[in-house]
Structure 1
C-alpha cells in the first residue's frame, strides 16, 4: 500500500522495510502462499516475501525466507537456491523451517511449510502444460487450508503474460492469458464452495501497448499490434469477486488495492 522507488522491493529509499500484505496476514496469524508461473525470485513474488533496495539482489531476497514469512512458495529458479554468491547453503538452511520439494505434485504430500521449485513453471505455456498454473493454484489452496482454519492469503502470478508483451508475441499473450484464466477459475471455484473468500484479479502494469484492431468471432481470428516492447502507463482493470468485492469499484491508484484488502480484514 506504499509507493516506493523503481527496482525497490517493499523497501523505502532509506532502506526501511515496508510491510507487505504477506506480513499483514502473517501478523494476524493466517497462513500465506506465493505462487508464480515464473522465477520465484522475480520482482512480483519477492514483493510478497522479501525486502531489498534492488530487485536483482537474489541472495538477499531469498535469505528473507529464513524468517518464514510464507507458508508456501512455488515457482521456478533452482539456480537461485543452489548457485549462490553469498556461500550460504540456502536449501539446508530452509530445511529447518520448510520442506523443499521439486514438483507441484509434492506440495500436499509434504508436511508443514513448503518451498516448491518446479522448473516446469519456467516453460512457456502451450497445450501440453496449459493447466500447470491452475494445478499449482489448487495445490496451494489445499495446502493453506491445511495450515489454518480461519482463512489465508494467496498471491498467484501469471508471470509470462509480461514476457509475451516484451517480445511482442500475440500468440504468446493469448495462450499465457488462457493459462492464467484457468488459475482464476480454480480460485473462483473455491470462492463459490467456501462462501467467505474474496478474489481480486489485476496486474502491476500493461506490457507492449497491445491494441486489438480487428477480429472475427466465427473464425477465431484476431489482429493485434504492439506499440512498444516495454511497460506502459495504460490504466488497468481490477476484477473482484466475493465478500467485499464492491470495495474495488471506481478509479484509484494501485496502492489502494492493498489498503482496501487490509481494511476488509481488520
Structure 2
C-alpha cells in the first residue's frame, strides 16, 4: 500500500507544481508585458531635454532681427544725420574759427589748433566708454548728457575772451559731448539695418558735409554783423534744436547687454580686424593735418 500510495503522492505533487507553473509563467510574462508596454509608451512620449532648448529661438533673438527698412528705421537714419551735423560737421567747420581766433585771441595757429584737436580726441576716446554704456542699456542717458555738453560748451564759448576759456568750453566740453553722441548713435543705427546698412550709415555720415556747409556759412555771415558772442549763441541754438529732435525720436532697439568687458580683447585675435585697426590708427595720423 505504501508503494502504491507513493506514486500517487508524487503525482499529486507534480500536479500541484504543474498548476503553479502556469501562474508563475503568467505572472512573469505579465510583468514582462507590463514593463515592455511602459517602455514603449515612454519612448513614444516626446521628452524635451535641455539640449532641445537650443533649437527654440528665444524672444531676444527674434528682437535682434533688424527691420532693414520701414518708417521707424529710416527715421533713425535721419536722426543720426542730425547728430553727425553737430559732431563731424562741427569739426569740419573749425577752419573758420581757426582764422578768426588768430586775430581775436592774438595767439599762434599751433595754439588755436589745440581747441579743434581736443574735439576729435575726446570724440574717439570717450566713445570707448559710451559705446559700452550703450550696450548696457544707458543709451538715453549717454545721448542726453552728450547733447547737453555740446550745447553748453558752445554757449559758454560765446562768453569767452581768453584762450584757456575757449580751450575748456569749445575744446574740452564740446569734445566730451561729441564722445557721448557719435559712437552710441552709430551703434544704435546699425541695429536697424542689415542689407541696407551701408545706405543708412551713408545717410548719417553725410551729416558731416551738411554741418561743414551750414556752420561756416552761418559764421561767415554772422561774425561781421553780430560779433563772436551772438554768433556762437546762434550756433548753440541750432545745436539745441537739432539735438533735441534727435533725443525725442532716436531709440535703442536691442535689449541691454549688462555683462561683458569694457573692451573685447578677444576681437583683436582675428587677424583681419587687427590689421584693419592698425591701418586705421596710422591712417588717422595723417587725416587731420588738413583740418588744423
TM, length-normalised to structure 1: 0.28
Of Structure 1 and Structure 2, which has the larger fraction of its residues in strand?
1
Larger Rg: 1 or 2?
A: 2
Structure number with greater CO (CA < 8 Å, separation at least 6) is: 2
Of Structure 1 and Structure 2, which has the larger fraction of its residues in helix?
2
TM, length-normalised to structure 2: 0.26
